Amino acid sequence: MKVTVVGAGAVGASCAEYIAMKNFCSEVVLVDIKEGFAEGKAMDLMQTASLNGFDTKITGTTGDYSKTAGSHVAVITSGIPRKPGMTREELIGINAGIVKEVTENLVKHSPEVIIIVVSNPMDTMAYLVHKTSGLPKHKIIGMGGALDSARFKYRLAEALEAPISDVDGMVIAAHSDTGMLPLLSKATRNGVPVTEFLDEEQQKYVIEETKVGGATLTKLLGTSAWYAPGAAVSVMVQAIACDQKKMIPCSLMLEGEYGQNDICLGVPAIIGANGVEKIINVTLTAEEQLKFAEAANAVREVNGDLKF
């Protein structure tokens, strides 16, 4: 399995590192526009191979997409991250052009590729890849829900004073500060609804902290996060590489599901060798349905700023 990661910055390198550490891919190609940067990151990572015990071959290239030819999966992390005080949506002006150009180069050299979109504003960037790549819809997957769900579980474990391995939960809808929808009604501790343990104030805290999870880290770090984003991508790549048929919330093109059309939004899906194998329709409460529709309206407005 050959995987290309475009953007050898914080998220791209973290993603390559986690993929290599899990040792399920033969080859990872890092691509960046900054001269020598991807080559340097690849060399540094390869020098951890004997220490960390992996056989994945990591190479880097400055913009030579012929080196990416025949990739099964490509991850797009190229683009600028936000700074404290910014929203993800403010990145559209610069990142849309980058994502469009990168997509064209990827598809030219790997026409069968499955693309995982990471660059922000991610739901809109995933939509852009649908509109410009010519790939079938099951081959375009936005990464947001996997990360947001991991942050939800972190906050749930904190509030429950429980180990994270006791906790399960999922975040759907938009990957934005306001449009995330943590499904508290379905979150559990060892199968018991968390609503049986947490009072209203604690529930509100968990939901609000989950939604601003990315902004909180951006404020602390001065740029956005990379460890959990890289790990979340590696889980998705592994689900494809190992045909795991894992249920992961991803930003996918909706055609009637959840009452939405012609929009990419986070919904649970089965991810396997073919990319998106099935979108899962979970029953939402009336309040959740309303919030999902509000998130869709906001993403649709951002999509309106795209020029194809």
Task: Answer for the pair 230, 261: CB distance below 8 angstroms, yes or no.
Answer: no
Residue reference for tokens 């998130």: 295
Per rule CB under 6 A, count of chain residues that contact ligand NAD? 36
Binding mask 145-164 for ligand LMR (x = CB under 6 A): --x-----------------
Residue reference for tokens 């500060």: 177
Site for ligand LMR (CB under 6 A): which residue of 78, 224, 238, 260? 224
Site for ligand NAD (CB under 6 A): which residue of 19, 28, 79, 176? 79
Residue reference for tokens 């968990």: 206
Instruction: State the helix-helix crossing angle for 200-211 and 213-221, rounded to 10 degrees.
Output: 60
CA-wise closest residue to 147 among 243, 227, 88, 205: 227
Nearest 5°: CA angle at 253, between 250 and 257? Answer: 90
Binding mask 31-70 for ligand NAD (x = CB under 6 A): xxxx--x---------------------------------
Residue reference for tokens 């590696």: 234
**Is 299 known to sit in a ligand binding site?**
no
Select 149 or 203, whichever has its Cβ closest to ligand NAD.
149
The reply on whether position 68 binds ligand LMR by CB under 6 A is no
The reply on whether position 119 binds ligand LMR by CB under 6 A is no
Q: Which stretch binds ligand LMR (CB under 6 A): 1-9, 224-232, 256-264, 285-293?
A: 224-232
CA-wise closest residue to 214 among 68, 91, 78: 91
| Segments of the chain assigned E as strands | 2-6, 27-32, 57-62, 73-76, 114-117, 140-142, 167-168, 171-173, 180-182, 188-189, 192-193, 246-255, 261-272, 275-279
- How far apart are CB 53 and ligand NAD at their closest, in Å? 26
Q: Rounded to a whole number, what is the largest CA-CA distance in the chain? A: 56
Q: Which stretch binds ligand NAD (CB under 6 A): 30-38, 53-61, 199-207, 277-285?
A: 30-38
Distance between CA atoms of residues 198 and 156, nearest Å: 9
- How far apart are CB 51 and ligand NAD at their closest, in Å? 24
Which residue numbers belong to the known binding site for substrate? 82, 88, 120, 151
Interface positions with ligand LMR (CB under 6 A)? 81-82, 88, 120, 147, 175, 214, 217-218, 224-225, 229
Annotated binding residues for NAD(+): 7-12, 32, 95, 118-120
The residue ranges that bind ligand NAD (CB under 6 A) are: 6-12, 31-34, 37, 77-82, 91, 95, 98, 101-102, 118-120, 122, 143-144, 147, 175, 223-226, 229
